[in-house]
Structure 1
Amino acid sequence: MTQRVDLATVMDRLAIDDLVTRYAVAVDDADWDGYRALFTPDGRVDYRDSGGIEAPAAAGADWLAKAMGTFPVRQHLIVNRRLRLQDLGGYPGDGADVQADYLAVLRTDTGEELSSGGRYAIAAVRTDDGWRLNGVVSREKWRRAAGALPG
């Protein structure tokens, strides 16, 4: 592998890491237009494991906006990222898979709190506009509620 390929691989890894971070920030900040812009036109999400939907990313944004509306305080951390770039015989391809753990803490105006943790399976693809999400699957491993939460 040449230094040029090594540098391209590092740049791809940084761009994908930034993409995953922008996903978390968009959810926390209720930036649903920004959330939608992170995905390819055919991008999909699967939040069924935590009581959500499996749908195109735009519909996922609509569902999240409604579900998160109860929780004006949100912090969503995505950690332990394991990234695998597509390998084309020693050269990076245009696809990547990320496995990453998450911790989400949500709080209502009255102080009730919902915490959960799990793992994301994320598919990213290189597009003319840079790296974009093509699929996000959330697998919740645990959930804890403190106080009476809205139904």
Structure 2
Amino acid sequence: MLPLQEISDRLEIQDLLARYSFAIDERDWDALDEVFTSDAVIDYRETGGARGTLAQIKAWLPLAMERFPLFQHMVATTRLDLDGDRATSRTILFNPMVYRKDDGAEQVFFIGLWYRDKLVRTEKGWRIAERYEEMGYAHNVPQMPAIPTIDDVPDRI
């Protein structure tokens, strides 16, 4: 039988992962402050994105995601290794996205990946200290211009 603390930790981390998905899907970039530690490092490069601090990623996301009128980040099947106030996890993400072309036509495509996270318990609850997106597969991805880099948004940081 799992100890109550471990049950609580697992539920809190499951909720944390869901809050990340909702923050991204609702474009509520400030909600990421309640998901990540203030000194978190987030690495989306393997899936075509950027790597940076929480502040840099929050400034970059609106520019990077504006080409997509709709997306869903559906997390499932987390392998979680708890070690006191620290944890590591690997979580499956299924990510359907809609890309709007210059002529207004929309194309739906799918990405499957894993989030590899390092988590820490803080006085405000569990937070992600490091996130790495590991690419799995993509289907029906349209031709599109390169996603902006962190350097493309220095005035927002």
With structure 1 as the length reference, what TM-score do the two structures score?
A: 0.86
Q: How does 1:2-151 map to 2 (within 5 A)?
A: 6-86=3-83, 93-109=84-100, 110-145=105-140, 148-151=142-145
**Which amino acid in structure 2 is aligned with residue 139 of structure 1?**
E
RMSD: 1.7
Task: Name the CA distance, whole Å, in 1 between partners of 2:123 and 2:96.
Answer: 35
- Number of positions where the alignment pairs a residue of Structure 1 with one of Structure 2: 141
**Which amino acid in structure 1 is aligned with residue 29 of structure 2?**
W
> Unpaired segments of 5 or more residues in structure 2?
146-157
Task: Name the CA distance, whole Å, in 2 between partners of 1:144 and 1:36.
Answer: 31
After the TM superposition, list the runs of 4 or more consecutive aligned residues in structure 1 that deviate by more than 4 angstroms: none
With structure 2 as the length reference, what TM-score do the two structures score?
A: 0.83
- For residues 89-125 of structure 1, what are the alpha-carbon distances to aligned partners after superposition, in whole Å with 9 as ceiling and x for unaligned? xxxx101111111111111353212311111101111
Q: Which residue of 2 aligns with 1:89?
A: none
Task: Name the CA distance, whole Å, in 2 between partners of 1:54 and 1:63.
Answer: 10
Query: 1:130 offset after TM fit, Å?
Result: 0.8
Asked if the contact 1:112/1:149 (under 8 Å) is kept, the reply is no
Task: Name the CA distance, whole Å, in 2 between partners of 1:11 and 1:41.
Answer: 23
Q: How high is the sequence identity, in percent, across the aligned residues?
A: 32
**Which amino acid in structure 1 is aligned with residue 30 of structure 2?**
D
Bigger share in strand: 1
